[in-house]
Amino acid sequence: MNILFVSKVSASARSVFAISKYIEVGRARGHQVAVFGEQTSEPPLFPYTLDAKAFDFAIFVVYEPWDFPDMPYLAQLLDNVPKERRVIVDCCGRYNDTVRVEHDFNHLEKMDRHQGWEWVEGFDAVSNTILQPSFKPLRGNVRSFLWHAFDPASVAKPYGSAQEAVHAWGNGHGTGKRYGMTYLGHNWQRWTQLRPLLEGLEPLSSELGPIALAGADWEKRPEWAAQLGIEGVDVDPGLLARLGVETRPPLPFQEMIGFLSDGKLSPVVHRPLFNSLGLMTNRAFATFSADTIPLLMIPEELIESVYGPAARLLRVGPDFTEDVARILRDPMPYWSAVLDTRRHLAEHHTFQHRLQQLEQILEGAA
């Protein structure tokens, strides 16, 4: 099977990690897999092609309008791959009526000028097969396909036991780590959740150690957000300064697991919209590959259905101070939960599993 991924690839955002893994796993399964576009020497070094005719299926991975290719490539692609052989992975729940949760939306007309129905029409124009990385898509004609997955080969330190993990983590107290907590992700619709977490960690700062946030717009609310009246990029520089939080620019995806592994703890936080729609993200899986204890801040039902029962222990909040203090005092059960969860993910949620599901969907679609 020849599979062509169509998306605007960025080294530090969206689905770059997943696409890299689908290429790798697809090839291992004997498929020809490439990304639609002109070959570039810029990283990430994916196999690109404009020869859409040579592919059986085009998988559009859509977050933003620009994930549809620029002209003339979009027209050429639509001409050369019949509609029944095109699939859209709707990573942000665009293919829904407009949903607002707090100040998060699936359609933000202020930013991209598109109303909700335009997204729905646009998707309908391109494909009859719409997938969302959620167990429970809202629309009847959308299929569940989690898209993101766990890569056991990416696990930074594949410990054999919780004792070994705790020991390596820092002689039982995480003191071997550069940071107490690391978070990698852009400041987009995360602050309402990260703020109480950071405030909860303040009493533990000496025990925990420094905190680092990597991604766009953590230093301050950007000008464009103020101009457009967008609240989803809020941040409190005073709080970050008081806590000594180190902010860093976005990192390329190859550095993701290494950076997360620099922290004793790393939160898994989803946008309010994603929590509401049950949408999964890359970080929800990749954090389990890092040498860190994930702090799960996503809905409880999603935790159990994706990660398995052991992961319930890793859920934190609303009393973050107490929850994190407990982990720092006695990390053993938490590391045990991490290792159990890794096993669960390796059994049920690898990119190999996903690709098999995708193959079935594609065969059904065609």
Partner 1 sequence: MRIMFVYWAFEDQGSGLLINGYTRAAQALGHEVVVYGRPVPNIPLNYSMDVDSADALVYIFEWTTDLLNGDNLDFARLSKISRRRTVVIDGDGNYNDLISADGDYNHRDEQARDRWVAICDGLSDKICQPSPHPRCDNVLTFLFYCYDPASELPLDVDNKDYGLLYVGNSKFRWSAMSQVLAAIAPVRRRLGRVGIVGHGWDKLPAWAEPMRMQAAYHTDPALLRRLDVDLLPPVRFNDVVCTMNRALLSPVLTRPTFNQLKFVTPRYFETPAAGSIPLFLIDAGHLQEIYGPAALELALPPENAADKIQDVLDRPEHYVTVTENIRRHLSRCHSHEMRLRELVRIIER
**Sites of contact with partner 1 (CB under 8 A):** 65-76, 78-79, 112-114, 118-119, 121-123, 125-126
> How many residues are present in the chain?
366
266-305 per-residue burial string, b: 16 or more CB within 10 A, e: under 16: bbbbbbbbbbbbbbbbbbbbbbbbbbbbbbbbbeeebbee
Closer CB to partner 1, residue 25 or residue 91? 91
Closer CB to partner 1, residue 119 or residue 259? 119
Shortest distance (Å) from residue 33 CB to partner 1: 23
Closer CB to partner 1, residue 119 or residue 179? 119
To which H or E segment does residue 88 belong? strand 86-90
Among residues 6, 15, 12, the alpha carbon closest in space to that of 284 is found at: 15
Closer CB to partner 1, residue 112 or residue 300? 112
Shortest distance (Å) from residue 67 CB to partner 1: 8
For 121, the 3-state DSSP assignment is helix
- Give the list of residues 6+ apart from residue 282 with CB closer than 8 angstroms, or none: 15, 17, 18, 148
Shortest distance (Å) from residue 156 CB to partner 1: 37
Closer CB to partner 1, residue 62 or residue 213? 62
Shortest distance (Å) from residue 46 CB to partner 1: 20
- Give the list of residues 6+ apart from residue 63 with CB closer than 8 angstroms, or none: 7, 14, 15, 91, 92
Shortest distance (Å) from residue 71 CB to partner 1: 5
Closer CB to partner 1, residue 72 or residue 309? 72
Among residues 295, 315, 274, the alpha carbon closest in space to that of 211 is found at: 295
Shortest distance (Å) from residue 18 CB to partner 1: 21
The rounded distance, in Å, linking the Cα atoms of 252 and 44 is 9
